[in-house]
Structure 1
């Protein structure tokens, strides 16, 4: 006889059996589902193991993120631009590419100087502090940098990384004054602005150097006359009848005169290095003035002013006679030449007036302390 107790036990047994059967079925379905997901992920990671689909579209993913060449095409059909084409350009072409010249552009607001120490260093020297400060005082909106000899190497390596032979030439120069000469051309070619020696004092701001009626977009180089010796023995004192000074130069970056002189010094230096004659007392019999100094600077400027590549020539060459006896600024092409008073006031010769003259812009103290005594240029006092 089925009592209530027996009926209750039987009901519990049946419900337990149904639960176990249902749980086993769900576990099997869940396991199958996980296997299907794993298979799908594996198919995405390793498509080559998946069978091709019946749609005719390949199931494999491309092995590279760009389409393969057209059927039957060859590398001859592709545009080729070998890197060797760049390095085979001449040095002047490389410099022109790296430092393009924009005559209509602005003169950069930089003032560059070089010395053994920065003004922040206690060894800078009290003699040069008033002179160095004068440039900042008269050019408050300019970036004024005094670059040490050690820092110059790293700066040039950065600026001329794409033209390594220039840096090689700079490091190969055997005398500090030659490096100082070369540095001024290099920094102005790459960055532009004003370079001026550490022993120069600014008398008037560069904004006053050129008459306001002369558009700044029409010239890219401002230079001054160092020497205009109207005497028979001028060769005993100066290398050129008209000699342009290079202790103060203003330029827009990339100016052809700077490009030409940088290329000339680089080529000549590396040639002499290869011959083993690039030594302080050798240098093929050439003086520093001729190698990197004002003689080479003067020759490079005259060559530029007489180059039909840049100017339409009227048949008359630009010579020293064009600039002798000047008392006001003169513009020739895109070069402005200032009279001797502008950068050499107070030398008491060659028509130079005193530092209080309206045309006096920069006073040079002729210290040249980084030069050997034989290379220091001093004014001739009669």
Structure 2
């Protein structure tokens, strides 16, 4: 197998390019730094163009939010990146991006806005300097006075259960809702419904399977489960359960990422993986693994893997049949690659880059 390339978003000023070789001639898998592309303050979220993966979009997470377009492949090598365009994000602290063929959809965390920009795969790459914006509704402050004084969109994702029309889902940590948006005849997005969550839950990210949607509640470290019929039918709550087995949860702990890889020949069973940040345990943060063997609406916590990472934030599956999981500690522990074992019920660390080689990793792309 040829080495795989991984791009790393961060809370530094750079995006990093790594090489992961799962089967080198020397024997053990290796993970190495290839290059570092300076982008700007905190390029914490990265996404690739759907038909041209050499074009990467980064959210520059600052008060006057910015989008940077990075072109890879200069000189024929993947690791060389060059910033080829910049534009306003239409708000403060862009933390999530969704890319279509001709549109970039942005979630601005601190300003509580969704914004869109027209894009192209050739120069000038971003076709307007004035993003269209939509403010998320906000009725009242949440119980968490540090995090819920206003709307905080934390993800923009198309509804994976709706195959006939595009519906945009926006988890809003501040409002304790996942907003449901549809595109109108004028090409603009409009709110047409929502999923309600427990006060103070702080929805962060969602995944879906069959007729069910799973929402990671960042502030209460819970996995919330709903039936999710097409609009206009409302969702129905199934259950919610903690993303870790410990009975005592420190106030500083928060959940970060949720993943649901599609079953395949090597991993025919369905599992949900969530990361938990800032665990005071000496072996670091955990990745919780839930089985759906009992049914879509009945996830069961079947494993907790200690990562040795501090503030395990983003993580992404990659490689053949999503065999590998890359994850990093934004506050310590470096970047690690795990291999799925026991049919997906477990994770085994197989490669690592020490802390300091990559600064404060927050997100990943398998290139």
What TM-score do the two structures reach when normalised by structure 1? 0.24
Q: Which one has the bigger strand percentage?
A: 2
What TM-score do the two structures reach when normalised by structure 2? 0.24
CA radius of gyration, larger in: 1
Q: Which one has the bigger helix percentage?
A: 1
Return the structure number with greater relative CO, CA threshold 8 A, min gap 6.
1
